[in-house]
C-alpha cells in the first residue's frame, strides 16, 4: 500500500484566502482531493476538515502544512497534536516554511531533539501572536468606543403606529405579514417588539 501525502490549510475566517497555502501544496504535487481546508480560528482543534484528515492519516503517511500557525495557535494543543500524529498514528509531518520541522529526516536522537526544540519555539510564537492579536483587537475596540463609534446592530425605534397595528393584528383584523408590511419591520424585529 502506497503512503499518502496530505495537505492541511487553515485560514481564520471565510473572508481570508487560502490560495497561498494551496499553491504551496500543488508545488509539492499533492493531489487536490488530498488537501483539507478549514476556515476557522486556530484556537483549538475542533475543526471539521482537520478531524476528517486526522482520522484517515495512517502510519508513514505525510501531513504537510505551510507554517506551524496554520496547524494551530495554542502552544500546548499544538504539542499534543504533533505528538499524537508522529508517535501514536506514526505519520510524518512537514512544515514548508520551516524545513527543520520535517519528521521524515534525522529520526535519530539529535534530529528528534532539534525538531522538538524548533517545534516548541514556533508553537510558543504562534500562541503569543494569537494573544497579541486579541490584545490589539481589544485596544482597537476601546479606541473606537472612546471616539463614539457604536458596535452591534443599531436599535430600531418603534414605529409611531405600532400600537394601533399590533392591536389590529391581535384582534385578527390583519395577518402578521400585513402588520409587518404596515410597520416596515422584518419578522424577528416585529415579534421581538411585540414580546417586549
Helices (H), 75-108: 75-83
Residue 60 backbone phi and psi in degrees, to 5: 70, 0
Q: Is the pLDDT of residue 30 over 90?
A: yes
First to last CA, the chain: 65
Task: Using DSSP, state whether 123 is helix, strand or coil.
Answer: helix
With a pLDDT cut of 90, the percent of the chain lying above it is 33
| Whole-number Å distance between alpha carbons of 37 and 21 | 10
| Whole-number Å distance between alpha carbons of 18 and 2 | 28
Model confidence at 111, pLDDT cuts 50, 70, 90, reads low
Catalytic residue among 12, 41, 115, 143: 12
User: For cell 492579536, what's the residue?
Assistant: 133
Model confidence at 66, pLDDT cuts 50, 70, 90, reads very high
Pick the residue with more confidence: 129 or 68?
Answer: 68
C-alpha cell at 69: 500557525
> Would residue 12 show up in a list of annotated catalytic residues for this protein?
yes
What is the per-residue pLDDT across 138-176, written as a single tens digit (0 to 9) for each?
887 888 888 888 777 777 888 888 889 889 999 989 998
Output the CA torsion sign for 146, 148, 154, 157. Answer: positive
Amino acid at each position: 500500500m502506497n503512503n499518502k501525502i496530505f495537505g492541511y490549510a487553515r485560514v481564520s475566517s471565510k473572508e481570508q484566502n487560502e490560495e497561498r497555502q494551496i499553491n504551496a501544496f500543488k508545488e509539492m504535487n499533492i493531489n487536490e482531493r488530498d488537501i483539507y481546508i478549514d476556515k476557522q480560528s486556530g484556537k483549538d482543534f475542533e475543526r471539521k476538515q482537520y478531524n476528517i484528515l486526522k482520522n484517515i492519516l495512517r502510519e508513514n503517511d505525510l501531513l504537510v502544512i505551510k507554517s506551524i500557525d496554520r496547524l494551530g495557535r495554542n502552544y500546548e494543543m499544538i504539542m499534543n497534536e504533533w505528538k499524537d500524529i508522529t508517535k501514536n498514528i506514526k505519520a510524518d509531518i512537514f512544515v514548508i516554511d520551516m524545513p527543520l520541522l520535517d519528521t521524515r529526516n534525522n529520526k535519530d536522537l539529535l534530529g528528534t531533539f532539534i525538531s522538538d526544540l524548533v517545534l516548541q519555539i514556533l508553537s510558543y510564537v504562534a500562541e503569543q501572536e494569537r494573544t497579541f492579536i486579541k490584545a490589539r483587537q481589544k485596544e482597537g475596540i476601546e479606541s473606537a468606543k472612546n471616539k463614539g463609534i457604536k458596535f452591534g446592530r443599531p436599535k430600531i425605534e418603534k414605529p409611531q403606529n405600532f400600537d394601533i397595528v399590533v392591536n389590529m393584528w391581535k384582534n385578527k383584523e390583519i395577518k402578521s405579514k400585513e402588520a409587518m408590511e404596515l410597520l416596515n419591520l422584518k419578522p424577528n424585529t416585529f415579534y421581538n417588539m411585540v414580546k417586549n
